[in-house]
Amino acid sequence: MKQAISILLAILCFMTAGAQKTSIEEYIQTYRDLAIQEMKRTGVPAAIKLAQGIHETEGGNSDLLKRSNNHFGIKCKTNWTGETVYHDDDALGECFRKYPSAEDSYRDHSNFLKGSSRYAFLFNLKPTDYKGWAYGLKRAGYATNPRYPQIIIKYIEEYGLEEYTLMAMRDGSPANDSMNMS
């Protein structure tokens, strides 16, 4: 009986791990075009955007995402005038931005990075420098997790997300001078 329970538990663990990976792949398939579109519009690398989205939404499964369409964990801040939702993060009951759609979240994330002086230096990096972007986001204060850059880099490398940055560079007019491939 104990052996049967152990086997059942092993199967359930394997199925759960596989379901999460599938969920991440589904997240990528669902949102890759938005990431490419936003890269063409603003210069935020598609690989970075997808990796951040995967991390911040737990592969499309987070409670915050389900309640707010917030793909990037962006908090309200003082200038936010849209809808809000409260969620426990670094502190209990923090205010997060709520969006009518994923597209609105993706657009706001791009505008948030592009419109803030603390992230301006990132746009001097090549869009293919995903490691520079990942470490730069942490340095600029995007996340409190000290391992944030490594997490973002791991998603990019594990799921081949750089492909979407390269697609955006080939397929569209650059949003800024840093998007050239040289």
Average pLDDT over residues 61-87: 93
Average pLDDT of the chain is 87
Phi, psi of 84 (to 5 degrees): -135, 165
Residue for token pair 């990019």? 156
Average pLDDT over residues 109-134: 97
The rounded distance, in Å, linking the Cα atoms of 16 and 131 is 30
Average pLDDT over residues 46-53: 98
Q: Is 81 exposed, middle or buried (0-12, 13-18, 19+ CB in 10 A)?
A: exposed
The rounded distance, in Å, linking the Cα atoms of 98 and 71 is 10
Q: Residues of the chain with pLDDT > 90: what percent?
A: 74
Residue for token pair 């990037």? 72
Whether the Cβ atoms of residue 105 and residue 70 lie closer than 8 Å to each other: yes
Find the angle CA(131)-CA(132)-CA(133) to the nearest 5 degrees. 90
Average pLDDT over residues 131-138: 98
H-type alpha helices, the chain: 2-42, 46-57, 63-68, 102-114, 130-139, 148-159, 162-171
The rounded distance, in Å, linking the Cα atoms of 4 and 7 is 5
Q: pTM for the complete prediction?
A: 0.82
Average pLDDT over residues 6-35: 69
Q: What is the pLDDT of residue 90?
A: 81
Take residue 71 and report the two structure tokens written for it. Answer: 């793909």
Take residue 141 and report the two structure tokens written for it. Answer: 């204060």
Whether the Cβ atoms of residue 72 and residue 110 lie closer than 8 Å to each other: no
Which of 8-12, 20-24, 27-31 is the most confident on average?
27-31
50: pLDDT confidence band, cut at 50, 70 and 90?
very high
173: pLDDT confidence band, cut at 50, 70 and 90?
very low
Take residue 158 and report the two structure tokens written for it. Answer: 């594990």
CA proximity to 50, closest of 24, 68, 78: 24
